[in-house]
Amino acid sequence: MPLVDGDPAAEGDVWYRILTSDKHITKGRIQHAAFQGKFIKPPPPEKNRPWNAEASGRLRSLAGSIDDVRVHCRAYCGKINRSFYGLMFPKEPLAGQTIESLEVGIFYTPIEGTDEAHSDLTFTGNVPFVERSEEHDRLVMALSGKFNALHPDQTVLLPDAHVTTEPQKGIERLKAALRSAINKIRG
């Protein structure tokens, strides 16, 4: 069954994000500057998402061939008048992990007419949005070790999705909604 907006990504899928600064890859890893600023931001209120923060990316399973990935990266960067400097993707499956007390998920969030493979890396919990706070620094520190980096000519090394099971959409959505509600109650 095809994914619909708000569905969790299937186990084995790969989330990846386009890098638009050449200095955000250093010695084969992601420089922590890549996690500053608007890397994570609250979801649009009108979407009523069951998570508290998200980072934009794409799902490998929906991105087509590696050539398609490459073409999209260049087209995307061209559209925002930037250069394509590479990709980041998790070193290991992040969905279900807890990073600095935040529950991590990967959810399908297509942008109609623009990016049908769009997906968000999501964070549920008390997200430290205040930049340069200790909690934010801790989160940046934790995230910095979680991703691999690829230069544009290494795009071929982006792992394929190995989707073996249907995502537990109902259960995952319910869990996410419950977590979000609890978090809101806690303030």
Which window, 1-9, 16-24, 43-51, 103-111, contacts other proteins (CB under 8 A)? 16-24
What count of residues does the chain have? 187
- Quote the least distance from Cβ 3 to other proteins, whole Å: 24
At closest approach, how far in Å is the CB of 9 from other proteins? 22
Q: Nearest Cα to 62, choosing from 107, 122, 123?
A: 107
State yes or no: residue 42 binds other proteins (CB under 8 A).
no
The rounded distance, in Å, linking the Cα atoms of 57 and 88 is 9
- Residue that the structure tokens 């979801």 belong to: 43
Nearer to other proteins by C-beta: 139 or 176? Answer: 139
Phi-psi sector, 48: left (phi>0), alpha (psi -120 to 50), beta: left
Taking CB under 8 A as the rule, which mask of x and - marks residues 121-140 in contact with other proteins? Answer: ----------xx-x--xx-x
| Contact set for other proteins, span 62-91 (CB under 8 A) | 77, 80-82, 85
- 39 counts as binding other proteins under rule CB under 8 A: yes
Confirm or reject binding of residue 40 to other proteins (CB under 8 A): no
* N-term to C-term CA, the chain: 36
Instruction: Please enumerate in sequence order all residues whose Cβ is within 8 A of that of 180, keeping only pairs 6 or more positions apart, or say none.
Output: 49, 50, 51, 52, 124
For binding to other proteins (CB under 8 A), which residues are involved? 20-29, 31-34, 36-39, 77, 80-82, 85, 131-132, 134, 137-138, 140-141, 144-145, 151-154
